[in-house]
Structure 1
Amino acid sequence: MKDPITIAVNHKVLVWAREAIVLNRANAAEKTGIPPKRLIQLEEGERQPTLEELKDFSKAYKRTIATLLLTNPPKEKPLPPDRRTIDSKFVGNFHEKTIMAVRKARALAISLMELKQDAGILSPRFQYKASLQDNPLMIAQKIRTELNLSEIREYTNVNLGLEAYVEKIESIGVAVFQLTLTQDNLRGFSIVDEDIPIIGIKRGGEPATAKIFTLFHELGHIILNEGGLCDLSYNTSLQIEKWCNAFSAEILIPVSELLQMKIVIEQAAKGDKIWAKKDLIELANYFHVGPLAILRSLLESNLTTAEYYKDRHLAWNKPSFGRAKHPEGRNLAKETIKEKGRAYVSLAFSAFDQNRIDLKDLSDFLGIKLSYISKTRQLLNV
């Protein structure tokens, strides 16, 4: 029986592809189905893979076969710094799904720039800059005024409010994508080493109010020119996370406005620092945030106690809090618009309508099968 035909590859590329998604050899052998001894031989260059093994590598490592056939390992940009509140042994260790989400955000940003360039649209350069020595409240007040964010308070539908906030941030030269972040306790991330800064926020499993807070927290990172993978913990000891939390809180819940709210004035007059949930929710709905964000701002103004805040945080910050009571099934057209944003999807359809790209290109830009394109267009126009 003839030996199977092998394909010449640079064994260093196989090692790079595995390490790029943080897999050790034991995990790689399990995912690919290639025996550990054989895997070592392939990675050491003692043997060459068969076509079937190359397909197994491609599927496990989320790389095309063409990439695995490169003559040398490509230089890939690193992940943003780890800003999570976790045990030191977990710092810098991420699930492959997180790595894929960051990689996808980078690819989408490149596609967005291509679509804009093809349409002759000049993308604005992001101009805002600050340092940790700057007062985050002052920076927040400046940006809130310049972007006229107060007008979004008129939205009674918080999901429409989220879309409006995203459009505001995109208008100042930031790419915003909602991605599946199911691992590593992440709420969002920011990237500052691309031609356009990128914000990624968790798409599912959280209310829109939490996404809005994450959006501005990550904007804080971009203003500081310090990207990160974040869980947005209030218990963090990292100065940069405290700065970004304070920035996001002030831009959404200006202290001067909060203290003038009728509910707050009446509660302060009574000297009562224990707040009714309905009052916190009323304030939260007005400011497009969650009740915990309101309570945290009240704590900063000495209008509640640290003990009460901690108690409510434990009660309300559970995974099920704020989620849909009746989650719907998957809607790929809706997910596409949420993930890439209306601006991106509109640019892709515009390029197709003007015959600058064909139907296959449109499918590639949107990342969906041809059968979902019509539904996506219908939803976009709603």
Structure 2
Amino acid sequence: MGRVKINPEALKWAREDAGYDYSNLPNKIKPKFEEWESGKTMPTWKQLCDISKYFKRPSAFFFRKNLPKHLTLDFIEYRKLDTLEYQIKSPNLTLGIREAIAKRNTYIDILEDMHYPKMSFSKFKLKSKNVYKLAKHIRNILNVDLEEQKSWLYVNNRKNTKHYNFLNHWKDKLSEELGILIFEVPRVSLDEMRALCIYYDDYPIILLNSGDSPNARIFSLFHELTHLLLGESAICDVDKNNSKEWLCNSVAAQFLIPKEDLLNNPLVRNKISKEWTDKELWDLSNEYGVSKHSILLRLIKLNKAHQESYDIFKRKWDEDFKKEKDKKSGGGGSPVRNQVKYNGKLYSSLLLSAYEAGVLSSVDFSQGIGLRLKHVDELSEQLFG
């Protein structure tokens, strides 16, 4: 079988840009890769197609002589954890960040092509270290009071105790009111990343781990939003003892579960003991649309629960989450619903509008949205009802 004469430097560039080293290369291309990259041998056309698929680059890229600059991740504030500097390790997360930035660029290009005005995020910034001031600021700019927040528990007069309705409403609010592009990335370990944000003066990015629970993603949204309001890009949960991480966690907790409202809640106000049952914590979590974990931490902070109870409950809830996740591991779900989740409604709606207006070709639309044209009607229904 004939070999193709590619540029070995392009091969090396693509591998590094995709976040691979020699140890974690896919088995299909791993055995001969070092030889190809050194120029000792060349891949066949079929092997080049496999390389293109794994590195998400067109085959023509590997014939280039002039290579672009690598995507630099210096915009993200890395914090030291146990004396080791945190680094993005997995190809899936590297690709997720690269795609999020590319989608933002596409979004802005389409806005300009359609002569739509840009939305500025920088006007919402607030340089403050006051938890209550920041939480109140978020409440004001999103224009959502607690009564509306609590109403999201119900969908068609039925309780949605998984809190997906809360998550979807919050994502919509952050996108519509503040112009934040919210994407989700699959197949990334929660140990590596739960969420991150990339600051821009207009259309900043929040990237969530789609494998996380709805409640965790809700909390991450407001943790990352706080970073953005402070004008920062960051990966959350890298070093929980960092003062900025503490501030962002505190703001998210105060916003989602306001101290004054929680203390005035009949279940809390009338509670004599500091001992809580799982059912009581569950009732409170449903009222605010947060996890039982967040409720318990809030009660401990307000001296309404014992610190010792945290580890006991946390072990049980972690086990429950793992069982639930294992149960779901086989299902793929609707491709349209998945792509709307990964791409976010703000991005998806603009691409669909641009396609219907003839600004985007069918090929560009399909590639940008990650769906075939046969899904257009279902996508429209998903986005606009």
Q: TM-score range by the shorter chain?
A: 0.7 to 0.9
Determine the structure 2 residue equivalent to 1:300.
301
Does structure 1 conserve the Cα–Cα contact (< 8 Å) formed by 2:17 and 2:71? no
CA-atom RMSD in angstroms: 2.9
Structure 2 residue 247 is the aligned partner of structure 1 residue 255: no
Q: 2:310, 2:360 → 1: CA distance?
A: 53
Q: 1:194, 1:41 → 2: CA distance?
A: 44
Cα deviation, 1:123-178, whole Å, max 9, x if unaligned, reads 222123355x7123321122212322223332224333322211221221321112
Q: CA 1:239/1:31 → structure 2, altered by over 3 Å: closer, same or farther?
A: farther
What residue identity is the alignment partner of 2:199?
Answer: V
Determine the structure 2 residue equivalent to 1:70.
64
Does structure 1 conserve the Cα–Cα contact (< 8 Å) formed by 2:119 and 2:203? no
TM-score (norm 1): 0.85
Does structure 2 conserve the Cα–Cα contact (< 8 Å) formed by 1:101 and 1:181? no
Q: 2:203, 2:134 → 1: CA distance?
A: 21
Structure 1 residue matching 2:178: 3-state secondary structure: coil
Does structure 1 conserve the Cα–Cα contact (< 8 Å) formed by 2:282 and 2:292? yes
Determine the structure 1 residue equivalent to 2:311.
310
Structure 2 residue 132 is the aligned partner of structure 1 residue 137: yes
Q: 2:54, 2:360 → 1: CA distance?
A: 31
Determine the structure 1 residue equivalent to 2:245.
241
Structure 1 residue matching 2:184: 3-state secondary structure: strand
Task: Give matches, 1:119-134, under 5 Å.
Answer: 119-127=114-122, 128-130=124-126, 134=129
What residue identity is the alignment partner of 1:172?
Answer: L
5+ residue gaps, structure 2, are 155-162
Determine the structure 2 residue equivalent to 1:376.
379
Structure 2 residue 89 is the aligned partner of structure 1 residue 94: yes
Among 206, 209, 213, the alignment partner of 1:202 is 209
Does structure 2 conserve the Cα–Cα contact (< 8 Å) formed by 1:192 and 1:198? yes
Structure 2 residue matching 1:320: 3-state secondary structure: helix
Q: CA deviation at 1:119?
A: 2.9
Structure 1 residue matching 2:252: 3-state secondary structure: helix
Structure 1 residue matching 2:197: 3-state secondary structure: strand
Determine the structure 2 residue equivalent to 1:105.
100
Q: 2:347, 2:88 → 1: CA distance?
A: 31
Does structure 1 conserve the Cα–Cα contact (< 8 Å) formed by 2:71 and 2:98? no
Q: CA deviation at 1:362?
A: 2.4
Q: CA 1:19/1:211 → structure 2, altered by over 3 Å: closer, same or farther?
A: same
Task: Give matches, 1:207-286, under 5 Å.
Answer: 208-230=214-236, 232=237, 236-267=240-271, 270=272, 272-286=273-287
Q: CA 1:301/1:322 → structure 2, altered by over 3 Å: closer, same or farther?
A: farther
Does structure 1 conserve the Cα–Cα contact (< 8 Å) formed by 2:129 and 2:247? no
Q: 1:181, 1:18 → 2: CA distance?
A: 19
What residue identity is the alignment partner of 2:252?
Answer: S
Determine the structure 2 residue equivalent to 1:320.
321
Cα deviation, 1:205-245, whole Å, max 9, x if unaligned, reads 52x22221111111122223332333x48x82222221211
Among 168, 182, 191, the alignment partner of 2:173 is 168
Cα deviation, 1:173-223, whole Å, max 9, x if unaligned, reads 3211122143252321111268631001122452x2222111111112222
Q: CA 1:319/1:225 → structure 2, altered by over 3 Å: closer, same or farther?
A: farther
Does structure 2 conserve the Cα–Cα contact (< 8 Å) formed by 1:34 and 1:53? no
Q: CA deviation at 1:255?
A: 0.9
Q: CA 1:278/1:172 → structure 2, altered by over 3 Å: closer, same or farther?
A: same
TM-score (norm 2): 0.84
Provide the identity percentage: 26
Does structure 2 conserve the Cα–Cα contact (< 8 Å) formed by 1:85 and 1:236? no
Q: CA deviation at 1:300?
A: 1.3
Q: CA deviation at 1:34?
A: 4.3
Q: CA 1:108/1:319 → structure 2, altered by over 3 Å: closer, same or farther?
A: farther
Cα deviation, 1:316-373, whole Å, max 9, x if unaligned, reads 1336269489756420011122222223222222222222223333212211122322
What residue identity is the alignment partner of 1:229?
Answer: I
Cα deviation, 1:60-109, whole Å, max 9, x if unaligned, reads 32322233233233223333647689766683142111111112211222
Determine the structure 1 residue equivalent to 2:342.
339
Determine the structure 1 residue equivalent to 2:5.
7
Task: Give matches, 1:184-195, under 5 Å.
Answer: 184-185=190-191, 186-192=193-199
Q: CA deviation at 1:302?
A: 1.4
Q: 1:319, 1:199 → 2: CA distance?
A: 27
Does structure 2 conserve the Cα–Cα contact (< 8 Å) formed by 1:336 and 1:376? no
Among 363, 379, 382, the alignment partner of 2:366 is 363
